[in-house]
Structure 1
Amino acid sequence: MSIEAAFAAPLWRWSGESAWHFLTVPEAVSDDIRSCVEPGPGFGSVRVTVTVGASTWETSVFPDAKSGRYLLPVKAGVRRKERIEDGDEVDVHLVVHV
């Protein structure tokens, strides 16, 4: 079983020392993921396949306690290839593997 969703979200940079960049998964999609995922060990990450522009990759989304939503990391290679920077609105196609 899988969940598919398309959404747009602004790219933002983690405020810590690392240069991680993220997209915040919308509340409704986060709720759908949460409702289909069984709690397990670890910090609650969920495997996904992501498409942004011409780039498709596999990664994990993970819950953010502060916002109650899932966060999607966007690696540097994808940001360069797709020419996206902090604050850019990014169109995402997300497949959640549950």
Structure 2
Amino acid sequence: MNDTVSAALPLTSWQGEKATYHLVIFTGPEAEALAGHALMQRLEFGRRAGFGSIKVTARIGATAWKTSVFPQKHQSQWVLLIGKKVMRAEGLAPGDTIEVAVTPV
């Protein structure tokens, strides 16, 4: 399953102890597709990646990078962290709705 999952998602921020993190959260059919990929990966390789994550190539606008998405709430939500370099390159700010595409690798 190497299908790209795309969605228009709000960019949110979360204040951690040491930094502010920017992220988007996949829910609904997009989260189900990612959970399906995680299941297939587990069946094929017999193990889970760190924190149940899936390695992906992410794309926002003209910027693409390799990263991971992380499951939340029993895989009904998947979190993609957005780094400062991507934020600057694409002119993003918290509250923006952005087109995000992730392709499992």
What range describes the TM-score normalised by the shorter chain of this pair? 0.7 to 0.9
Give distance in 1, aligned partners of 2:74 and 2:14. Answer: 13
Identity over aligned pairs, percent: 30
Q: Which has the larger radius of gyration?
A: 2
Number of residue-to-residue matches in the alignment: 97
Cα distance in 2 between the residues matched to 1:92 and 1:22: 11
Question: Which structure 1 residue ranges, 4+ long, deviate > 3 Å from structure 2?
Answer: none
Indicate conservation of the 8 Å contact 2:57/2:67, yes or no: yes
Instruction: Give the secondary-structure state (helix, strand or coil) at the position aligned to 1:72.
Output: strand
Structure 2 residue 85 is matched with structure 1 residue 50: no
Instruction: Give the TM-score of the pair, scaled to structure 2.
Output: 0.82
3-state SS of 1:51 partner:
strand
Post-superposition shift, 1:19?
A: 1.4
Equivalent AA in structure 2 for residue 13 of structure 1: S
AA paired with 2:57?
T
Instruction: Indicate conservation of the 8 Å contact 1:10/1:89, yes or no.
Output: yes
Deviation for aligned residue 1:93: 1.7
Aligned partner of 2:91 in structure 1 is: 83
Counterparts of 2:12 and 2:74 in 1: how far apart (Å)?
15
RMSD: 1.8
Tell me, yes or no, if structure 1 residue 8 matches structure 2 residue 16: no
SS in 2 for 1:95: strand
Alignment of 1:19-98 (within 5 A): 19-37=20-38, 38=42, 40-65=48-73, 68-97=76-105
Taking the aligned partners of 2:6 and 2:84, their CA distance within structure 1 comes to 21
Q: TM-score with structure 1 length normalisation?
A: 0.87
Q: Secondary structure at the match of 2:20?
A: coil
